Amino acid sequence: MEIFDVIVIGAGPGGHAMAEQAAHDGAKVAIIEKSLWGGTCTHRGCIPTKALLACSKHYAALKKLKRMGINVGPASFDFAAMKRHQQQMVKISALGVEKSLREAGVNLKSGEGKILSPREIQWTDTDGNQHALQTQHLVIAWGSEPQLLPDIEPSEHILTSDGFLELQMLPESMIIVGGSVIGVEFATFLAELGVKVTLIEMMGQILPLEDEDASSLLNQELTRLGVTIHTSATLQRIHETADSVQIVATRQGQDFHLTSAYALICTGRRPRLHVEELNRLGIRHNPKGIFVNEDLMTNIRDIYAIGDVTGGIMLAHRAMHQGKALASTLFGSRAIVYQEEAVPAVIYSHPQVARVGLTEKQARQQGLELEVKKTDFAANIIARIELMGQGFVKFLFHKDHLVGVTIVGEGAADLITPMSLAVANGLGKRELSRWIIPHPSLSEVMTTSS
């Protein structure tokens, strides 16, 4: 029987980061992955969607070049080549996960891991052979899966994000149900390639968890791209024909009908829970995820859970930092600490939307005394030179301490990074005033001085 200090089940971002960090800290580590090294992020989420969005972004950007005096002639695109780019990036990412784990000294085991007890794992390899493994610590990193509406099942014309990424032909039209992160990213990609897109969101704004000003600006930009957006709209019925999808939705008590070649259901993701296994072990959970304490341990000693399976905001970098923090707790110096409030969220629409900490609405609901400072991309010379379009940065201060930042605009995903460091370290106006920002640069939109 093989014996390990820690066994991780699931090689998505969280499991990968935990296993690699634990191995670097000197632990004997095994990681079990049933099918896809890199998990959802690499194969069905972050990487393939960003590869496609990079293609549509560069295609759409060609329209700006004439203003700069650059003539490129009639533009066209090859969807099959875009798909090859998507697949190549997925392959590179997956191979990178395996390579980094092996180089760290992690024992990689392809197949299925079944938890028999807190210290015993049954590993069934890809040939169907069963092996007994023993461990001091066990980490559950099962990830998540698409969440569907009741009575809706994926089919030829009714897709989840997983199904969309398998398409080999660009659809002529698409109805997207759900205007949160996944929905607006796919809407961006499709609209930039000329697809007729209709977006339905049941809440009063797209990106319902984000800043209202950010949602409003992105709504405006998507509409400019040709996306038809219905907010405060509820899906009532969906009917698939041989070559189309027909939808009935309700808004303000009135039904309206839509027809499209495909429907894309983007109503979020849910933790992947092996309920029978959890119940047998006595691990506390509900449909929103496995319960863990501040050290990411379940109610069963030496069994831990990280990433999407714990619920909350389902982001790859959240899972990764949880994994690193757990490894640091078990085998390191405990120097790496996980802070939920310091997790940045990014939507890779065009323009991008990024946030760390509270939105203005959340802060006011908490009764915080707020000072709001807002800077605009239009006042930044690099944003004007590069024709970056609209954007802004909104800072929220409570008693001179930074409690939230929202950024909308090109480069938001990178600009939010120092702000997550500021929030994590409780920085305020005094500390931020010492930040020397190069000129001219887009980073100057981050200045908080009056």
* Active-site annotation, residues: 439
Q: Which residues have C-beta within 8 Å of that of residue 105, sequence separation ≥ 6?
A: 23, 29
Nearest-CA neighbor of 404 among 220, 214, 180?
214
Nearest-CA neighbor of 173 among 146, 202, 199, 206?
199
Q: Which residues have C-beta within 8 Å of that of residue 172, sequence separation ≥ 6?
A: 195, 196, 261
Q: Which secondary structure element, helix H or strand E, spans residue 328, and what is its range?
A: helix 316-331
Q: Round to whole Å and give the CA distance between 339 and 343.
A: 7
Q: Which secondary structure element, helix H or strand E, spans residue 230, and what is its range?
A: strand 228-230
Contact 367, 357 (CB under 8 A): no
Q: Which residue do the tokens 């405060």 mark?
A: 232
Q: Round to whole Å and give the CA distance between 50 and 56.
A: 10
Q: Which residues of 324-340 are buried (b: 16+ CB within 10 A; e: fewer)?
A: bbbbbbbbbeeebebee
